[in-house]
Amino acid sequence: MKRSFIFASLICAVAYSHLAQAQTKATADEAVAMVKKGVAFIKANGKDKGLAEISNKKGQFNDRDLYLVVYGLNGVVHAHGANEKMIGKNLIDLKDIDGKAFVRERVELAKTKGTFWQDYKFTNPVSRKIEPKRMYCEKLDDVAVCGGIYK
């Protein structure tokens, strides 16, 4: 009887830890919704106020491992919800751990498709580990507003 209780408790603990971990990661639907919210915020409040709010780590565009990034179509970061040190930097030649020039690809996709998903690897700000990432982006005038999920 005691063994069964311990086993059942262990199963519950493992299940709970997986559930808790799943709740800390944003979903694809949440990423799409946040990007759309960011685009609407910029349209309603102007680019300067929008970029400032997107870059605010404690603002409405930063939730768990989900944050927004805004790139100019030349590769320059205009806003970054996880790392304000990236703002103003041209990252067009930045590559992920596998050598994928993901910023260059993102800019080209923004120019040609306007709305898209993109896969690459990046450091998760929560786990601090390099993980597969899927980024959803929408072109807005001369920028791409993006938000991604870690797989």
Tell me phi and psi for residue 150, to 5 degrees.
Answer: -100, 135
Per-residue pLDDT tens over the stretch 131-145: 999 999 999 999 999
- Predicted confidence at residue 126, as pLDDT, reads 84
- Integer Cα distance of 37 and 39 in angstroms: 6
Residues 92-129 have pLDDT tens digits of: 999 999 999 999 999 999 999 999 999 999 988 888 99
Q: Where are the domains of the chain?
A: 26-150
Q: pLDDT (tens digit, 9 = 90+) per residue, 39-76?
A: 999 999 999 999 999 999 999 999 999 999 999 999 99
pTM beyond 0.85: no
What are the distances in angstroms from CA 94 to CA 20, 82, 87, 117?
33, 17, 14, 18
Task: CATH number for 26-150: choose from 3.90.1150.10, 3.40.50.2000, 2.40.50.100, 3.30.450.20.
Answer: 3.30.450.20
3-class secondary-structure state, position 142:
coil
